[in-house]
Structure 1
Amino acid sequence: MSDAPSIKKSGKTGKRKKSSSPKSGKSPKSKGSSEPTSPKGDPPMTEIAGNSCFRHHKEVKYFCELHEEVLCDDCLTTAPYTTSQTKICKIEEAYRKRFASTYQLLNSHIFPKRDQLKSQIGKINSKLDEVRAAKGLIEKDMKTEFSAMNERLNSSFGTKVALLEYDVLELQSDLDRIDYVINNIHGANSDITGFLSKYTEIRDTTDLILAKPFRTEIDVDSNSLPKELIEIRENVVQYPALKNLLETKDEIIWKLTHEGVSTCKVDENTQKELAEWAKLTEKFSSELARYRMICEYCGIPLDNISVNTNCSRNSGNRHYFNKVN
C-alpha cells in the first residue's frame, strides 16, 4: 500500500518532466529563424512532429526495430521497450533506412518487372486479336452450313480466350501489387508513420512480386481452332474417286470368282497386273474406310447428295456427320 503513492508521485514527476519538453521544444523556433540553414534539415521530419503516440499521446521520436513500432519518450520507460534499447533508434534514421531500401528495390527490380508485365499483356492482347480474327474467318465460311460446328467453334474459342484472359488477370494482379508499393512510396514523405506501420506489408508485397514468376510463352495457338467444314469438303471431294476405285476392285474380284476363270490359265503378266490392282484397291479401300462418315442422327453415309440435305431425325436441320471409327 505504501508503494502506490510513490508510483503516482513518480508518474507526476515524469509528466512534469515531459511537460517541460514543449518549452524546450520552442527551440525549433530558433532553428526556424535561421532560414539559410533550413534546406539542410529533413522536411519529412517536420511533418511527423505533429504525430502522437497512441499510448501516451505524445510526440513520437523513436522507432523499435524489434517490434516495428514508433515510440515516444514515455514508451521507453515501459515494457517491453526497456529491455530492447539496442533495437531502438531515432525515427528519422528508421525512416531513411527503410525508405532507401524500398526505393532501391523499386528502381532495380520492381520497375523493370512492371515493364515486362505490361509488355507481356501487350503480346497476349495481340494474340487475342489473332484468335478473334482467325475465329471470324472460320465462322464466316461455316456459319451458313452447320450450326452445330459453330457451337463447337465457340466452345473452343471461349476456352482459348478464357485462358488468355486469365493470364492477363494474373499479370494485372501483379501490376496492382506493384502500384500498391509505388503509391505507398510516393506517399511516404507525407505520412511517415503510415509508411512505417505498413512497412512489413510493403516488404512482403515486394518479396511476393520478385518471387512470383510469370510465363513469357503464350501456348494458345489461334490456328488450332476447329476447321470441320474444310475437312468435310475435302472428304466429299475425295469420296467419289475412292468409291469408284472400290467398286472397280469389287468388280474384278467378282469376275475372278464367278466367271470360272482359272488362275492357272492366266498368263504370268496378267497375274502380276491383277496383283498390283489388288494391292492398289486394298490400299484405297482402307483409305476410303478412314474417310467414311455417317450422320449421328439417322446413320446415312456422307456423299455429294446427302451433304446438302436435311436430316429427318435432327429436327429438320442438316445432317451431323462424324467419322466412323
Structure 2
Amino acid sequence: MYREFLRDFEREIKRPEVEIDYSDDLVEFMRFLQPMEYAEPLLTNPARRAEAFGMLREGVKFSSYIWGRKYEELGAADPSDLFYKLGYREDKTQSIGIFGKASLASSLISLMLTTINKESVLYLNDEPDSRSVMRWTYESIFFDDLPFNRIPPIRFPTHLPTCPPRNEDNMDEVWSGREIPVTGIWEPWAIDPKIGVRCPNYYLAGDIASQYQIEGTDTLEDVRWRLIWKDLRYPSGQTPVEEDDYFAPAPSANLNAPVVRQARPGEVCPESGEWYAPHLNNRTFRMSTGEIMPGPEFASTGAVIWYLKPRPDSGSTL
C-alpha cells in the first residue's frame, strides 16, 4: 500500500497543471520505502525476524513525517492545497484517496509490530484519555473496554464445559508440517519429554500443523500435536443454538421485524427472500434458495450475518 501511495503521488505531482515542484517531498517519502523493502523478504525467516521488524520501525516513521508539523505549517489541510485535494487530512485516520492508502499502510505496519514486540502498547484510538492495552492479545481486544474498540463484545453461554484433559496417548499424533486430519483443539507436545504439553491450538481439518513458538522468543521448534477435542458443532453448516447471540445485531438494527432465518457469507441461501446484514449498514439483497450468500465475512463492526426478513403474511412465527 505504501508503494501504491508513492506511485499515485508521483503521478499526481507530475501533472502539467501542477505548478509547484514536489520532487523533494517524493524523494523524502521514498526514503522510508527502502527499509520496508529490505524487511519484507526477512519476515518469514525466524532467525532474521527481529532485524526485519527493526527495519519496519524505521519505515513506519513516514507516518509521523507526513502528518507532523511540517505539513501542518505548510497548510496542507487547506482545501485549496494539492495535498488536501489528494486526500491529506490533519487527522491521518480521516485521510482519503492517496493519503488514505498511506494512513492504512501505517496502521497495518504498526499493528504488525505490536503483535511481535513484547514491550509494545496498542492504542485503538488517538483520544488523550483513551485506554491502551499491552500487546495484541485475545484478552485485551475482546475484554478491555476501549471507547473506540470496533471489535464487538462476545457473550458466552452461562455454562461452559470444562477443558478436556491432556492427551497422554501418542497414537495419531501429528508432527509439525503434516496435515491435520480432524477439526478441533490440538495440544502440542515438545520433543523433549521433560517439557511436556504446551498451549493448545484450534485447527481445521486440512490445515498444516505449525511449529511452536517458544514463549518470549522468535524461536520455532517442531512439536507433536495431539487431539483433545473433536469439533462436531457445525455438521449442518448452521450456527449452534448456544452461539446465536455471540455477535447479535444491535437492537436498533433489527428493522422491527422478527428474524426467521440467518446465514453467513459463503453459505448456501436456505430460503428465498430479502436478506439484510446489520454489520453492513443493513444492506439488503434478494436471494434465492441455493444461491451463495455474499461477503465479506467481517466488517469494521463485527462478523457479518445475513438475516431473512419475514414476509408480511408470516405473522410472528419464528
Same fold, TM-score > 0.5, yes or no: no
What's the TM-score once normalised by structure 2's chain length? 0.20
Largest Rg, 1 or 2? 1
The answer to which structure has the higher helix fraction is: 1
Point out the structure with the larger strand share: 2
